[in-house]
Structure 1
Amino acid sequence: MKNPIAFLSVFLLVCFAVTDCSGFGSRISNRKKNSKQDSITNQIKIRVLCSEFEEEFYYPILLGEKKDLLLILAELSQKENPSIRFISTNKTEEIMEINGARNSWKEGWVIYINGETISSSELKLGVRVGKEDKIEIKLIPVERVFGRPMSLNGSPRYKNRRNVLII
């Protein structure tokens, strides 16, 4: 043996090639992938409806997990699936545009969870959703109100107001 380092490197290369061809390395990586996929079996479905398109988007979550809807929408927007633009103030968070369809003076994006309207200030405070929740975002005709609708004691009242977009 004139060059033991060359012999050792060739030997290691052959050993690596044999283990890779036998599938030993891929079995280990597949086990890691399968265990990760087993824990992400649920998906939150978000349905977006407007006159131009109707699409469903899915967000993977862990079994039984609930996440903040605003964070889910922001992560989907970051991936541009769908492309979402928001208007943010100190107290509210509102969807301005989804896939090029924008708010206008006559239409606005309204979020429904299990059939109930979610206001822009509730969205900002945090609304936790899970797999069992029915989430729809619709571009619908709205009445624009400058300022907040107020009850007699001065706190915002949104539960009884339907299709009102506050700007």
Structure 2
Amino acid sequence: MQPMKFPIRSESHQLEELSERFFLDHLPNNWAAEKPANDYGVDLRVDLFEGRHATGLELLVQLKASKKSTAGESEVVRLKVATYNLLWKKLQVDMLVKFVESEKEAYWLLFKDIPNPPQDQESFTVHIPKANRLSSAPWQKVQQYVRSVTDRKLAAMRVREIEKQ
């Protein structure tokens, strides 16, 4: 009698889940993250809180993962130009995170620090400094940056509304 066959969980799915778990484990305890139903470049949407109080601030996260580290002072990520464009056009602040399984660490970079990619290519290379360890991320500074960007964008929208009147 033949043994029953069952689906196999791929290494890429396991690695993806490990990267998500690592990211969630290193967020401030009072922040909330959720996975959007449709993934068009946003792997996690993070709501930022101050104490127990909601702020209305959001951070969008694109997660990448690899089994081994990149040699040198930075982690290398291949990012689709279309994904970059989509995230760049969003009103929220965006963060790129690469989890490295062999190091049990992840590295992060805000999209504002990623140079604009050539639009005639499908993908491009992003270098995330290894100094940007997620395990020691300056979450308070990230929140301050998210607040400043959000405030500027909302102010610009309010000016446009006033000008329309």
TM range (shorter): under 0.3
Pick the structure with more helix per residue.
2
TM-score between both structures, scaled by the size of structure 1: 0.27
TM-score between both structures, scaled by the size of structure 2: 0.27
Q: Highest CA radius of gyration, 1 or 2?
A: 1
